[in-house]
């Protein structure tokens, strides 16, 4: 079974609107971390947001928030007030256990923001 599943290959959104990118995960560990990274066409992976499995509140970082539903094993990324510069690939990732923080990534979602 895949550890990280991103079911949306591509998403379209208009500028200034909100968009939700889906991510579900599979782990039997009690301690884990969930991440979202943005990868523009330049190739660099840019950290957006982190949610620990024991965090009771959903993580927020500026226009980014993570909708963490532990029982459903989902960690959706919400981008509010989309901007043209948000157009990029978005990857959900998971760190399992308390090991070396190696991350397992999903296949990504391409987000296109239109004017």
Partner 1 sequence: DTGVSQDPRHKITKRGQNVTFRCDPISEHNRLYWYRQTLGQGPEFLTYFQNEAQLEKSRLLSDRFSAERPKGSFSTLEIQRTEQGDSAMYLCASRTEGGTNEKLFFGSGTQLSVL
Contact positions vs partner 1 (CB under 8 A): 4, 33, 35, 37, 42-47, 50, 52, 91, 93, 95, 99-108
Neighbouring CB atoms inside 10 A of 73's CB total 15
Question: Which is nearer to partner 1, 43 or 85 (by Cβ)?
Answer: 43
Question: By C-alpha distance, which of 19, 3, 99 is closest to 11?
Answer: 19
Question: Which is nearer to partner 1, 44 or 56 (by Cβ)?
Answer: 44
**Least distance in angstroms from the C-beta of 16 to partner 1:** 28
Beta strand pairing call for 10-14 and 109-114: parallel
**Least distance in angstroms from the C-beta of 44 to partner 1:** 4
Which three-class secondary structure state does DSSP give residue 62? Answer: coil
**Least distance in angstroms from the C-beta of 48 to partner 1:** 10
Phi, psi of 30 (to 5 degrees): -85, -30
Token duo for residue 115: 């004017």
Question: Which is nearer to partner 1, 85 or 115 (by Cβ)?
Answer: 85
Question: Which is nearer to partner 1, 14 or 60 (by Cβ)?
Answer: 60
**Least distance in angstroms from the C-beta of 115 to partner 1:** 27
Token duo for residue 72: 């459903």
């Amino acid at each position: 079974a895949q550890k990280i599943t991103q079911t949306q290959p591509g998403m379209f959104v208009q500028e200034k609107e909100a968009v939700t990118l889906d991510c579900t995960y599979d782990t039997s560990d009690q301690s884990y971390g969930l991440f979202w990274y943005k990868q523009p066409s330049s190739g660099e992976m840019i950290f957006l947001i982190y949610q620990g499995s024991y965090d009771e509140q959903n993580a927020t970082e500026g226009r980014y928030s993570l909708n963490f539903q532990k029982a459903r094993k989902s960690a959706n990324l919400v981008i509010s007030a989309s901007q043209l510069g948000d157009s990029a690939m978005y990857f959900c990732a998971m760190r399992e256990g308390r090991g070396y923080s190696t991350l397992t990534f999903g296949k990504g979602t391409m987000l296109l923001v239109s004017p």
